[in-house]
Amino acid sequence: MANGKIAWIIGGGSGIGAAVAHRLADAGWTVAISGRRVEKLEEVAKDRDIHPFPLDVTDGHAIADTIKSIVAAHGRIDLGLFSAAAWQPMEVGDYDFKKFHTIVDTNLLGVIRMANPLIAQLERQGGGQFAVIASVAGYFGLPRSAAYSSTKAALINLLETMRTELAPKNIKVRMIAPGFVKSELTDKNDFPMPFLMETDDAAKRIVDGLTGSDSFEIAFPRRMVWLMKTIRFLPYPVFFWLTAKMLPKEKGR
Ligand SMILES: NC(=O)c1ccc[n+]([C@@H]2O[C@H](COP(=O)([O-])OP(=O)(O)OC[C@H]3O[C@@H](n4cnc5c(N)ncnc54)[C@H](OP(=O)(O)O)[C@@H]3O)[C@@H](O)[C@H]2O)c1
């Protein structure tokens, strides 16, 4: 049964965003979903109270216009969730500018483009939730992940700032940090992914965290989170000894 709450998920056409959209809709939310591929959005929206609003997060006007359209159609936005990302492994030293640009433009600047118009809307309606999927990959600089890992670190830092600043406006900022989850994003990985989770399991933990707690950080699975946080706080000589082991072995050795 409808609960009158409205969620908007950018990146709702696949993976974690799509699974969160399904869970929220099944719990009575009306859900708006965005992404570039219209056919993916339509597939996710089928037979549920889910509504596609296609956009590209590199287009700030499209984001602002989409917020207006969602509010015109559904009245408000109780929860905005940014679940879009670009990811490509980078070989050591191959900091291809074009790849780097796409990843920063999507993962970090996409959130910045969403921030002003969404915060303005949340303020107008008296509050709401501003949630972003970062990653445990943002806890420290992961080898082979230069662009992706640094955007996730920047997001964690940015969201910490926003949490403090927006609390007095009754806007709850959430930082979601999953470990490895099965999705289109991880399908391209050719390395071992410890504690790999099913998409729906990740979505359950996110929805439980967003609807059943006030915590800033929604991070899982616990073993992965503690492993990454422990590595983060190791003294640098030990830290670099360990991260060097994450590099692929050079051919011929
Ligand atoms: N899977 C994991 O192991 C894992 C772990 C930690 C964090 N995360 C994070 O979880 C979030 C969801 O990822 P996922 O694993 O579910 O991967 P996914 O299935 O690839 O989802 C990413 C979504 O982002 C959308 N997107 C990408 N570029 C976009 C753009 N320029 N404009 C609008 N939408 C765009 C894609 O849709 P279109 O291509 O149709 O635009 C896609 O639906 C991401 O923030 C990711 O970094 C994932």
pLDDT score of 101: 96
Closest CA to 104 of 144, 147, 141: 147
Closest Cα to atom 7 of ligand 1: 135
CATH number, domain with residue 174: 3.40.50.720
In a domain, 140, yes or no: yes
CA 204 to ligand 1 centroid distance, Å: 17
pLDDT score of 164: 98
In a domain, 66, yes or no: yes
Contact 80 CB / ligand 1 (< 6 Å):
no
In a domain, 230, yes or no: yes
Contact 85 CB / ligand 1 (< 6 Å):
yes
Contact 37 CB / ligand 1 (< 6 Å):
yes
Name residues of the chain where pLDDT drops below 70.
250-253
Closest CA to 127 of 82, 174, 77, 162: 77
Number of domains in the chain: 1
pTM of the model: 0.97
In a domain, 61, yes or no: yes
In a domain, 253, yes or no: no
Contact 144 CB / ligand 1 (< 6 Å):
no
Contact 208 CB / ligand 1 (< 6 Å):
no
Q: Which atom of ligand 1 is nearest to the CA of 84?
A: 24
In a domain, 252, yes or no: no
Return the HEC string of 184-215. Answer: HHHHCCCCCCCCCECHHHHHHHHHHHHHHCCC
Contact 74 CB / ligand 1 (< 6 Å):
no
Domain membership of residue 235 as a residue range:
6-244
